Amino acid sequence: MKLTLFDLDNTLLVGDSDYEWGQFLIDRGVLDRATYEAQNQQYYDQYVAGTLDIHEYLGFALRPLAEHTPEELARWHAEFMRERILPMIGAPARALVKGHLLAGDLCAIVTATNSFVTAPIAREFGVTQLIATEPESRGGRFTGRVAGTPCFREGKTRRVDEWLAAQGRGLADFDPSSFYSDSHNDLPLLERVSRPVAVDPDAQLAAEAKRRGWPVISLRG
């Protein structure tokens, strides 16, 4: 069997769903623009630079989930999908995912963005397997804390290994195992699969892909 893993933000999406969720809540008046917007941008810049403290960031990003009811969050997310996410999904990304699904690959989206934001996006692509950062919940409400290992950098590799182990499998059981990503933050997982693919890569990943002879593709258009 073939294993195909997809990063989400700036790979399958032309943009970053985590950043856009924060901006959406600001534009809706849910979050205060003066206190939230600059910090949201700062954390995004740290992610791009490879200096993000994921636990510090998650304390910031998951807080709004804890401050509102599940009903409010669900209503806002439906609007977010229509207004922000659907325009970020291009035909090439849809075709890539569909092709792997039709080929019978075991497919999963593997993303640092939390599962509340990303589960509906994975469903939009028709991907049933989502490996994401999990926000903790108790009594039907989010707590604002993370549950388990954040799905970021080395954490992505660990979470994929755990997901496969739960099925009695490992990466070595698949030929090939592929991972599509745009970011140098994903190098730990890109180095583990047998077929790493750089997608509209950032400068650091583009240089690494060239050095190692990895394929480089674009899903923009």
Sign of CA dihedral 70, 75, 77, 78: positive
Catalytic residue list contains 45:
no
Q: Coil, helix or strand for 107?
A: strand
Catalytic residue list contains 186:
no
- Cβ distance 221 to 92 under 8 Å? yes
Q: How many CA atoms does the CB half-sphere of 201 hold within 13 Å?
A: 23
Cα Rg, the chain, nearest whole Å: 17
Q: Which two tokens stand for residue 55?
A: 């636990």
Nearest-angstrom CA–CA distance, 66 and 183 = 29
Q: Which of 7, 16, 182, 202 is catalytic?
A: 7
Q: Return the active site residues.
A: 7, 9
